[in-house]
Structure 1
Amino acid sequence: MALPDPLAEQIVSISKAAGDKIMEIYEKDFAIYEKEDTSPLTEADLAAHNVIVEGLAAISDLPILSEESANIAWEERQTWDKYWLVDPLDGTKEFIKKNGEFTVNIALIDKGKPVMGVVYAPVLKRTYIGIDGAGAWLESDGEMNPITAKKHSSGETWKVVGSRSHQSPEIKTLLEQLGGEAELVAMGSSLKLCLVASGDAHLYPRLGPTSEWDTGAAHAVATAAGAKVTVLDPANPLADDAPDLTYNQKDSVLNPFFLVSA
């Protein structure tokens, strides 16, 4: 199955090329780095960053904001209407633990909104793609299938995405407010948003620090699949009128707390 937008096909190819570079380092014995100044994570980050920047520059004149080139002044960034938002390797703990739950993330942002996103998990061989107005897809085992967020049904167990690394009291409070049974679905990196996009979870509340490049690509996937990504107020986590999470609208690249909901 071909994607409806040729640009998305190109972004998938760039993501996979970056993933190949990461895997060359991931499959080495990390002990070999102990005598060197660099870490395997740093090397993998930079290798993927270089592949992505080179690939995007070959197909687009748009500016690029990447975690590995984040020191672009707000005075310059605020002039951008449309740009690429990149996290070459999201999931530091997952990479170091070698559990496979790390991702390559490329998003196209237009006037503060993610309108296209690709999230590629090189170990899991999964690619999530979202195109605003066209839909969302998961490529796995060589097959491309559409995905849709799944709303919670009355009496159904809530499936709530959480982190393997930490749980906060605020998350526990939110779970209590849902009513009914709640099952925590553990996952690393930007794949947490993708679980809501694919219908494998109903909610992903994030009450910890993230940067815009951590979420942009998976945000595009989630909204293209029919989910919402909204700013989360810990005092009223399930508010119906919460504003959408936006990008490049302020000096800081840190996200507020947010909720991904089907």
Structure 2
Amino acid sequence: MDLGIKGKIALITGADSGIGLATARMLLEEGATVVLNDKTTDELQKAAESLGNDERVLHYSADITDPDALQEMHEKIKESAGTIDILVQNAGTTGETGLFHELSDEGWVQTLEEDLLGPVRVVKEFLPDLREKGWGRIVFVSSENGVQPYEDELPYDCSKAGILALSKGLSRTYAKEGVLINTVSPAFIETPMTDKMMEERAEELGVSVDEAIQSFLKEERPFIELGRRGKPEEVAAVIAWLCSDKASFINGSNYRVDGGSVATI
């Protein structure tokens, strides 16, 4: 399917692996120029190389919680590619986990800084580009946790709920200027973040990683009827579509790519 984004410039944060990298690959295949961002340097370089020797692939490391670093990256993108048309805000972290009485103030602050204020700062920095062009797409990657909180991930839950509110609020403000803003909420996808979670679970239970995954599905995510983790490409396909001209009447929506994990309509 031709998504109508050939020649567009897309910035994807959190793009050194997983959903971000899969999204970059799909947008690149559709003819867009892709700018990969992450905090890493070496991993980001490897991610760019995995997309092939293509002049339409750029990469810049920057911490999205640092406004100065974002501004510096913004200038580099303008110099090398121009102003962006598409922003996919995917960067984030699990943050501090544990039951509420076990969580520190520092853990709350750090998680909210990375998973909520970081995205706010990214949009603040790059939204003027989209408004100036009169055509733009912003896609936030939230999580099932935003509507179905888990008791041992409350800072992350609250951050992702905040992303849903942020996306909806922004969509009401800027649609009239041609900037459409939506959210995608995955659940239990094959990414380095869930790899780490399952490795820790396997060690804690004294079982293999595969056994840890199956026990997690049975005990913690019983509504994923497919009985597996999702693939990054399955999330990226929805993101890419929302970035396209095909989604020209979609605004302020949240698309769950969760295998049924959220136990409500």
Q: Which range, TM-score by smaller chain?
A: under 0.3
Name the structure where helix makes up a greater proportion of residues. 2
Give the TM-score taking structure 2 as reference length: 0.27
Name the structure where strand makes up a greater proportion of residues. 1
Higher relative contact order (CA closer than 8 Å, sequence separation 6+): 2
